[in-house]
Structure 1
Amino acid sequence: MQHSAKDHLFQQIALVAQAIANPHRLELLDLLVQAPRSVEQLAQASAMSVANTSQHLQRLKQAGLVIGERQGVTVRYRVADPAVVRLWQEIRRVALAQLAGAERALDQYRPQRRQLPAISLAAVQEGMARGDMYLLDVRPLEEFAAGHLPGAVAIPLAELPQRIDELPSDKLIVTYCRGPLCRYADEALLLILASGRRGARLEEGVAEWLLAGYPIAHS
């Protein structure tokens, strides 16, 4: 009886592992960490069909990892708990630390990442407090509105080439996006450096900033 109950317990826990054991569902979680979204928005952002996106969301929902909230005729999904964010970050951290293939894949996805100037969370905090740093959020505006680093300015990557002259020339410009698995900040930083301005990339995003104990802002 006890062994049967123990088996059932581990089977229930395994539902979480089974739900996230899929690259498409991990990508959906990565997107939902940034901001709540509808099925259609998630499908567009992940380049999946609406039908496939909906099926993956149902698996995540059954495992208690995401919640769907109806707003009129639209259902918007969000992560169910901050623990889900920590879970995703730990999976990502372990994969990059333990799997050489994951590190090589990240190098292929972000080919300039090792050559670009980098900056730490603590250094950003200090620079913003001194007022000699310009913090640039290059994510989509819906993600910026859901939460961003205090003092950050939003210029989505797609708009940056036309708005590069808006950036200051007398401050260090720090770019950030969704975190280590996002290359938006790399591409933005290359544009900034090519314009003759000083810049650096913050590897972390809003989720990492929060987990480090720093507050975020909302617009």
Structure 2
Amino acid sequence: MTPDDAPSQLFADLAEIARTLGHAHRLVLLEHIAQGERSVERLAELASLSIANTSQHLQHLRRAGFVVARRDGKRVLYRLGNGPIEPLLASLRAYAAHGRAEMRALAADPAAEGADAMSREELLACLGDNSVTLLDVRPTEEYALGHLPGALNIPLEELARRLAELPRGHEIVAYCRGPYCVLSATAAALLRDQGFRVRRLAAGFPDWKAAGLAVEAADR
């Protein structure tokens, strides 16, 4: 390859990456894998795909280096590959959100404004002085795979009957999977109706992890 060929090869490589990611099912699978290592069967269930279809998409992602696999007995488990994959997913989400009519409508919704989204930087400052209670409203399975340090896990469907576990005198910061996940906004609205002081984290767990910030996982 001559020096003049290098730019063309770079753009060819970028085009190949775009082709690999150019399928909604693959992006959905990557979003679930970003939460933590998952089996093919569980990924198929989460993505509402057949196991055969899921395996096919995972093989495409594997060949491109987006995921790696390991065998655990009869199961094959997938996790994200090496490299800045989580920041790439975060960038894709941010670009997709930019200018979308649905996102503009959400931003203009009074209930969404009332949720008072908190940035990562604000949350880090609050965690430093222990002034908030972190609430992870994702399913318990996802919490076990990884969560923000010190977060209390109450899945959204259990929140209404477990309000007594939350401190009334502390501000609550709810978080979930990210910008396209409505769990934290729904939780914030419920808690506000019950008289809690509550905000929601604008970014979700994958974005927090992609930023290189500390995370915890349940003992296995």
- TM-score if structure 1 supplies the norm length? 0.86
Q: Which stretch has the larger CA shift, 75-84 or 139-148?
A: 139-148
Local SS of the residue matching 1:200: strand
1:142 is the counterpart of 2:141: yes
What CA deviation, in whole Å up to 9, does each residue of 1:112-131 have, x standing for no partner?
43442221212222222322
Asked whether the 8 Å contact 1:118–1:200 carries over to 2, the reply is yes
The answer for the alignment partner of 2:28 in structure 1 is 27
* Gap regions ≥5 residues in structure 1: none
The answer for the alignment partner of 1:161 in structure 2 is 160
Shift of residue 40, structure 1, vs aligned partner: 1.5
The answer for the alignment partner of 2:96 in structure 1 is 95
Shift of residue 10, structure 1, vs aligned partner: 4.6
The answer for the alignment partner of 1:57 in structure 2 is 58
Does the C-alpha gap of structure 1 residues 189 and 6 become closer, same or farther in structure 2, counting only changes over 3 Å? closer
Shift of residue 37, structure 1, vs aligned partner: 0.8
Asked whether the 8 Å contact 2:87–2:211 carries over to 1, the reply is no
Asked whether the 8 Å contact 2:40–2:77 carries over to 1, the reply is yes
Shift of residue 184, structure 1, vs aligned partner: 1.1
The answer for the alignment partner of 1:216 in structure 2 is 215
Aligned residues with identical type, % of pairs: 39
Shift of residue 211, structure 1, vs aligned partner: 3.8
Asked whether the 8 Å contact 1:95–1:102 carries over to 2, the reply is no
* Gap regions ≥5 residues in structure 2: none
Shift of residue 178, structure 1, vs aligned partner: 0.9
1:131 is the counterpart of 2:130: yes
Shift of residue 200, structure 1, vs aligned partner: 0.6
What CA deviation, in whole Å up to 9, does each residue of 1:153-199 have, x standing for no partner?
11122222221221111111110011111111111112211211110
Please tell me the residue identity of whatever aligns with 1:197: F
Does the C-alpha gap of structure 1 residues 186 and 83 become closer, same or farther in structure 2, counting only changes over 3 Å? same
Shift of residue 8, structure 1, vs aligned partner: 6.2
1:73 is the counterpart of 2:74: yes
Asked whether the 8 Å contact 2:34–2:86 carries over to 1, the reply is yes
Name the count of aligned residue pairs: 216
Does the C-alpha gap of structure 1 residues 175 and 82 become closer, same or farther in structure 2, counting only changes over 3 Å? farther
Asked whether the 8 Å contact 1:132–1:172 carries over to 2, the reply is yes
The answer for the alignment partner of 1:36 in structure 2 is 37
